[in-house]
Amino acid sequence: MSKYSMHVSKRTTPQSEKAHPDQAENSAGGHSFVLDCWGRLDRFLILGAEGGTYYIRESKLTKDNVAALDSCVAKDHIRAIKTIVDISVDGRAAKPAPCIFALAYLAGHSDVAVRQLALEAVPVVCRTASQLFQFLADVKEFRGWGKTLRNAVSAWYLAKDPRALAYQITKYRQREGESHADTLRRAHTKAEDADIREVLAYAANKLHNIDDGTNLEEARAKFYTSVAAGKNLRNWLTDEKPHRQVLAAVEAAKRATKEQEIVKLIQDHDLVRECIPTQFLNSKAVWDALLVKMPMGAMVRNLGKMSAIGLVSPMSATSNTIVQRLMNQELIQKARIHPLNVLLALSTYQQGHGVRGKLSWAPVPQVCGALNKTFEMAFKNVEPTNKRWLLGLDVSGSMSAAIANTHLSCAQAAGAMAMVTARAEAQHYIHGFSHEFVDLTKTHKSRSWSSRGKSVPGITATSTLDAVMEAMRAHNFGRTDCALPMMHALKHKIPVDVFAVYTDSETWFGEIHPHQALNRYRREMGIDAKLIVVGMAANQFSIADPHDAGMLDIVGFDANAPAVMADFARD
Q: Poorest-confidence range of 99-108, 436-445, 509-518?
A: 436-445
Q: In whole numbers, what is the pLDDT of the chain averaged over residues?
A: 89
What's the rounded mean pLDDT across residues 120-132? 97
Check whether residue 406 and residue 495 sit in a common domain.
yes
Q: Which residues contact 218 (CB under 8 A, 6 or more apart)?
A: none
Look at residue 61 and tell me if it is in a domain.
no
pLDDT of 356? 78
Kindly state whether residue 206 falls inside one of the protein's structural domains.
Answer: yes
User: Tell me, what's the pLDDT at 473?
Assistant: 85
Q: What is the pLDDT of residue 427?
A: 96
Residues 156 and 242 in one domain: yes
pLDDT, one tens digit per residue, over 395-409 is: 998 998 888 888 899
In this structure, the answer to whether residues 153 and 27 fall within a common structural domain is no
Asked whether residue 401 falls in the same domain as residue 548, the answer is yes
Establish if 332 belongs to a structural domain. no
The residue-averaged pLDDT of 543-553 equals 94
Is the domain of 101 the same as that of 30? no
Q: What is the pLDDT of residue 12?
A: 86
In this structure, are 118 and 27 located in the same domain? no
- The proportion of the chain whose per-residue pLDDT surpasses 70, expressed as a percent, equals 91
Residue 65 lies in a domain: no
Round to whole Å and give the CA distance between 97 and 134.
8
Higher pLDDT, 27 or 371: 371
Cα Rg of the chain (Å, integer)? 27
The answer to the question of residue 182 being in a domain is yes
Q: State the average pLDDT over residues 301-327.
A: 96
pLDDT of residue 217: 55
| Rounded (10°) CA dihedral 476, 479, 485, 488 | -110
**Which residues are paired to 535 by β-bridges?**
503, 555
Predicted pLDDT at 526: 98
Q: 203-260: per-residue pLDDT in tens?
A: 988 776 544 555 545 544 444 444 556 555 777 888 899 999 999 999 999 989 999 9
Q: What is the largest CA-CA distance in the chain?
A: 96
Boundary residue ending a domain (198, 217, 251): 251
Q: How many CB atoms lie within 10 A of CB 18?
A: 15
Q: Kindly indicate the confidence band of residue 2, based on its pLDDT and cuts at 50, 70 and 90.
A: very low
Question: Is the pLDDT reported for residue 555 higher than 60?
Answer: yes
Number of domains in the chain: 2
Give the domain extent around 457.
Answer: 23-34+383-570
In sign, the C-alpha dihedral spanning 50, 359, 414, 508 is positive
- Based on the fold, state whether residues 27 and 162 are members of the same structural domain: no
Q: Is residue 397 part of a domain?
A: yes
Cβ atoms of residues 322 and 303 within 8 Å: yes
pLDDT band for position 482 (cuts 50, 70, 90): very high
User: Phi and psi at residue 14, in whole multiples of 5°?
Assistant: -60, 145
Q: What are 216-224's contacts with CB under 8 Å, separation 24+?
A: 224/190, 224/197
Q: Please give the model's pTM, rounded to 2 decimal places.
A: 0.88
User: In which band, very low, low, confident or very high, does the pLDDT at 154 lie, cut at 50, 70 and 90?
Assistant: very high
What does the pLDDT read at residue 52?
A: 62
Residue 338, φ and ψ in degrees, nearest 5: -90, 140
* Structural domain includes residue 55: no
CB 199 within 8 A of CB 169: yes
> Same domain, yes or no, for 161 and 30?
no
Q: Do residues 349 and 363 lie in contact, with contact meaning Cβ atoms separated by under 8 Å?
A: yes
Tell me what the mean pLDDT of segment 532-551 comes to. 92
Q: Which of 251, 283, 308 is the last residue of a domain?
A: 251
Of the listed ranges 102-106, 206-210, 310-314, 392-396, the least confidently predicted one is 206-210
Within a domain: residue 48? no
State yes or no: pLDDT of 9 exceeds 50: no
Read off the pLDDT of each residue in 412-425 and give the average, rounded to a whole number. 94
* Domain termination residue (choose one: 251, 278, 306): 251
Looking at the fold, whether 100 and 226 belong to one and the same domain comes out as: yes
At 135, is the pLDDT very low, low, confident or very high (cuts 50, 70, 90)?
very high
